[in-house]
Structure 1
Amino acid sequence: MSGIAIGDSGGAGVPLLCLHGIGSSGAAFDAITPMLAGRLRVLAWDAPGYAASADPEGPPGMDGYADAAVAVLDDLGIRRAHVLGVSWGGVIATRIALRHPERLGSLILADSTRGSGAAPEKAAAMRARGAELAEVGPAAFARRRAARLLSPAATEAQVTRVAEAMAAAIRMPGYGYAADSMAATDHGPRLAEVRARTLVLVGEHDAVCPPAESRLIAGAVPGARYAEIPAAGHLSNQETPEAFADSVRDFLNAAGDLLDAARNVLKEGEF
């Protein structure tokens, strides 16, 4: 899979690969990037079929998205990275941890889930999303969802910004492929296999992937740390970027970054 667009803060910092949610793009990390850049090299992709990235030739499935994210690291010559996934991006990040554990320094799952396949009714609703997007178009689709992605205290201006950003990011068939991948995934039975040092982060008022789901994930991943971001909804990285960035920074600082930037370059023939 090729044609993936990626934002890159540059520099010699330890790489942090950021994977956005199902209704977003790499722009979802614009607010936190300057807060983390420097010690970290912040990489934020547009997933296949989103925003500036090319459409995949067919449904990648969760394995395909995980492999595509690792291929981004390969293309940049990066041996290992911290991986931060929000919502659907967290499900992809979990699959990377299971499928390519040697490529992770640590794992950050923000406002995420085991996958919609953990509940039949959620899987069915997720599968229906592609048809809805195709019927009403990105603008109307985004307006229907934007308010629920933020906390009850969000302003109308914030809701409008989220709706506009979503409408600019999503299209068919990419969104439908992503929804199908979520509907087919339940990582619950495999969370105990995750070996990466893990932070599970969630907005206090997340109504989409509520704190109870994040607590379940944190309880199942060995040694995982759990933290809530006060006053934030589902898009905690966008609604309260300072608190979100502080949580990420504190977690990685406590880990001593886990990676040696000077030795974190792929040599020809590796992997």
Structure 2
Amino acid sequence: MTAAPAALAAGAVHTREAGDPDAPLLLCLHGIGSSSAAFTPQLDRLADQVHVVAWDAPGYANSPDPDHAPGLDGYADTAAALIREHGGPAHVLGVSWGGVIALRLAARHPELVASLIVADSSRGSGTHPDRAKAMLGRAEQLAAEGPQAFAAARGPRLVSAAAPPALVERVVTTMAASVRSPGYGYAAEAMAGADLTDELPAITAPALVLCGEQDTVTGTDESQAIAGALATSVYVTLSGAGHLANQERPEAFNAWVRAHLHVVARVPA
């Protein structure tokens, strides 16, 4: 498949990195309300096994705004350019919106994706008109309220009811510092138009699909639908976690990622 031009040159995308650059590459793609800061537990605790690279998506946090709406393919192609810049291929970890990008990346650039870890994600909001409308409405809410108020209202919904206050505060602070217009609006537009249902069976990269048991944003049914449609997958429910399972249950989450990498890449666990 001929790739469309990347939304941004890979070098323009801000990243946080940890680990040996010669180790297998783990590229981390954050959710629609976050940034590379969301992967602090993975940067801190997986760097002994892999080279962890977490991006700020185009238009988020420290990455510049694209000059046009990239569309889902634009985000996927920018991630592909980042993998090439780091010598690829990569194991790609995507949370929520990042998981949708990771799946499209695996479909468009299969030679660059050694495996997938898809966490608390979906097939896109375009699977139902109400979901698409709600996604676009969130972009309108951000534009009207500003990042601080938007994050204060939305952030607590992303973790379980039992999440410690410090985690809730960290999620809200990260969101407020990461989202802005037009970047969030571009991402919401891409999500509202995405429905990966038909292309999932053609994805050949081995996948680990995880979901927090108490995820009320995308939910376990949606993660199970992804896992069931992929050619090769393992599905895991993480108890005691909401939508941000990688932050709320980092030890369990990282243990599953380690096990996955050990199986698919023979990386020492």
Same fold by TM-score greater than 0.5: yes
Superposition CA RMSD, Å:
1.1
**1:118 matches 2:158:** no
Shift of 1:34: 2.0
Q: Secondary structure, in 3 states, of the residue corresponding to 2:41?
A: coil
Answer whether contact 2:25 2:88 (CA < 8 A) is retained: no
Partner in structure 2 of residue 175 of structure 1: 184
Q: 1:95 to 1:188 in 2, by over 3 A?
A: same
| Aligned with residue 194 of structure 1, among 199, 203, 209 | 203
**1:60 matches 2:94:** no
Normalised by the size of structure 2, how large is the TM-score? 0.93
Task: State, as a whole percentage, how many aligned pairs show the same letter.
Answer: 51
Shift of 1:39: 2.1
Partner in structure 2 of residue 263 of structure 1: none
Q: Secondary structure, in 3 states, of the residue corresponding to 1:200?
A: strand
Partner in structure 2 of residue 39 of structure 1: 49
Q: Which stretch of structure 1 is more off in the superposition, 56-65 or 247-256?
A: 247-256
Shift of 1:156: 2.8
Partner in structure 2 of residue 269 of structure 1: none
Count of matched residue positions in the alignment of Structure 1 and Structure 2: 257
Q: 1:256 to 1:4 in 2, by over 3 A?
A: closer
Amino acid at match of 1:44: A
Answer whether contact 1:115 1:185 (CA < 8 A) is retained: yes
Normalised by the size of structure 1, how large is the TM-score? 0.92
Answer whether contact 1:32 1:242 (CA < 8 A) is retained: no
Q: Deviations over 1:187-236 (max 9, x none)?
A: 01111111000111111111101111111111111121100111010001
Q: Deviations over 1:83-137 (max 9, x none)?
A: 0000000000000010000001101110000000001100011112222111100
Residues 244-263 of structure 1: pairs in structure 2 closer than 5 A: 244-257=253-266
Partner in structure 2 of residue 87 of structure 1: 96
Partner in structure 2 of residue 51 of structure 1: 61
Answer whether contact 1:9 1:33 (CA < 8 A) is retained: yes
Partner in structure 1 of residue 113 of structure 2: 104
Q: Provide structure 1 residue ranges, at least 5 long, that are not aligned to the other structure.
A: 259-271
Shift of 1:257: 4.0
Shift of 1:154: 1.2
Q: 1:193 to 1:51 in 2, by over 3 A?
A: same
Partner in structure 1 of residue 5 of structure 2: none
- Quote the Cα distance in structure 2 between the aligned partners of 1:163 and 1:123: 24
Answer whether contact 1:24 1:169 (CA < 8 A) is retained: yes
- Quote the Cα distance in structure 1 between the aligned partners of 2:70 and 2:95: 19
Answer whether contact 2:17 2:43 (CA < 8 A) is retained: no
Q: Secondary structure, in 3 states, of the residue corresponding to 1:182?
A: helix
